[in-house]
Homo-oligomer: A and B are copies of this chain.
Amino acid sequence: MTVFELDNDAIIVDAGIMFPANDMFGVDYIIPDWRYLTERKDLKIHGILFTHGHEDHVGATEHLVQSFPGVPIYATPLTAGLIGVKLKDAHLEKLSKINVFHAGDTIKVGPFSVESYHVCHSIPDCVGFGINTPYGLIVHSGDYKFDNTPVDGKKPDYAKLAEFSKRGVLLLMADSTNADQSGWTRSESVIDDAFDQVFRNAKGRIMVATFASLISRIHQVGKAAERYGRKIAVAGHSMSENIKMARELGILKIPDNMFLDLSRINQIPENQVVILVTGAQGEPSAVLGRLATGRHRQLDVRENDTIVLSSHTIPGNEESVNRTINRLFQKGADVIYDPIAAVHVSGHARQEEMRLLINLTNPKYFMPVHGEIRHLKAHARLAAQSGIPQERTFIVENGFVIEGDKNGMRIGQRVPGGYVFVDGSGVGDIGPSVIRDRETLARDGFIMVVLNVDSKSGELVKNPEIVSKGFVYLRDTNELMDTVKQAVHDGLSNSSNGNRRTKIEESLGRMLYNETRRRPMIFTVINEQ
């Protein structure tokens, strides 16, 4: 999410989600912290513009329109369709009007004149923006690669970039995802060859797992199915919805008679069907995850199945993806995944394409965006090699303001720009300390001791009640149980009325660490009678 401000007017570009790291326990996803915007009452937000329809660019829309009801959305047809599905599912479609534009259109949003231009990525209908300001033109690349043989035939808009360059580019903000990868990202069309090989050799059914929003990949599966005489079935709600919408928009051109309802696949021979499924990230509850553990109601995995994972593994998901692949192999399927065959290519530019974009636009200032700091640094190094000096390159973390005026551009103040955790229906109600507690509980569990104590003598009225979860089986370890009771007695006898709980918890913590080298959370409930 990026905000462009001009005096008291602003526009927002993209509003995506981030996936939680493995140690962000219980977090479903992360949205940007836009507190700065809600607090700037003087600022008028004229619109939310989207570059493309992937989750890391549109996933937070539902939350954003709740914070800023009435602010219109601007998006290309497919992106608008994907956002529409999303807002409708959340019953929020009335909060914002979606305005559709086409790549190449110039959009007037408040005082901003924004020139959209087509870029290639792994989903159709992607754009970058040229944002005109009184101090010069800002070019925002969106997510891009220079794919010279794109599957939909729509080539990168080199002409527009050259025109920007001719007019003079003040600032280039460019996608840094693959900045540590040398060379040039392969074209999406190499996947056609890989699919050809898979479809030619498959003896039984073929299942292709990919992102629900990877419309161009779905298109490629459709074309391969047509070439090899297979019907397409779809498993997974989000994928079905997206396919329906993209076909209605005419973006996905697969004829009706190519599709087959999932419930009818057993009525035709196994080698005449291809099934599109969700779950290529190893998510246990998506279709592929349920197939791997035998928990899907309509589908199973068979000996002759060929299963293709046609997607990039999001960092942090490697373990669950590998586990899913292993389970599918165990069930007898043949599994085709990235190093085995070129069934996926990145949607992001590599170093040579990055150099090309920098040299094509020839910006005065440069700001690597969309990547971890290691990617931003690597991207800045490429820019330096193209002659953009360090002092005109801005490597900043979320929340930093870049200011510009007639004297040039510079890094300004920092505003809140961190993460907001979404867990269940709660947005931002868990913070680092709840996560830390979850981490402690995850590592060593907890033990709880309930004591009934005579308020006068301070002595136990009956045996302590002990509950533990995630620590050890106390039932199976009577010796440890005896030691726990001993520690409680020790703590109690060293305590007075005021410090009973502390003394018992200290005594218990020390003993448990000595015996087990673990530090469970300890709770004591004391009932004085």
List the interface of chain A (C-beta within 8 A of B).
21-23, 25-26, 180-182, 315-316, 318-319, 322-323, 325-326, 329-330, 335, 337, 339-340, 372-374, 377-378, 423-426, 429-431, 433-434, 437-446, 448, 450, 452, 465, 467, 469-473, 476-477, 515-518, 521, 523, 525, 527, 529
Contacts and interface: CB of A to CB of B under 8 A. Distances in A.
A431 B448 CA distance: 20
Q: Per DSSP, are chain A's interface residues mostly helix, strand or loop, or mixed?
A: mixed
Given A340-B180, A374-B322, A437-B445, A426 B469 contact: no
Nearest to A527: B527
B372 A322 contact: yes
A445 B446 CA distance: 11
A4 B465 CA distance: 49
Closest 6 CB pairs of A and B: A424-B517, A442-B442, A441-B441, A438-B470, A437-B470, A26-B443
Chain B CB count within 10 A is highest, among A441, A445, A476, for: A441
Contacts of A377: 329
Contact of A26 (B180, B340, B444): B444
B442 A372 contact: no
B450 A525 contact: yes
B329 A374 contact: yes
B445 A448 contact: no
Quickly give the copy total for this chain.
Answer: 2
B25 A443 contact: yes
Contact of A518 (B316, B378, B424, B442): B424
26 contacts: A21-B319, A25-B470, A26-B443, A329-B377, A337-B374, A426-B472, A426-B518, A429-B472, A429-B477, A430-B473, A431-B473, A434-B470, A434-B471, A434-B473, A437-B469, A437-B470, A438-B441, A438-B442, A438-B445, A438-B470, A439-B442, A441-B446, A446-B446, A450-B450, A465-B525, A467-B523
B374 A325 contact: yes
Contacts of A180: 337, 339-340
Nearest to A435: B470
Nearest to A442: B442
Given A441-B441, A442-B441, A452 B374 contact: no
Contacts of A433: 473
Contacts of A448: 448, 523
Contacts of A472: 426, 429-430, 434
Contacts of A439: 442
A503 B431 CA distance: 31
A516 B442 contact: no
A523 B468 CA distance: 11
A399 to B, nearest CB: 14
Contact of A22 (B319, B326, B446): B319
Contacts of A440: 470
A430 to B, nearest CB: 6
Nearest to A377: B329
Nearest to A434: B470
A326 B425 CA distance: 31
A326 to B, nearest CB: 5
A339 B429 CA distance: 38
A431 B325 CA distance: 24
B424 A181 contact: no
A344 to B, nearest CB: 14
A427 to B, nearest CB: 11
Contacts of A330: 373
Nearest to A436: B470
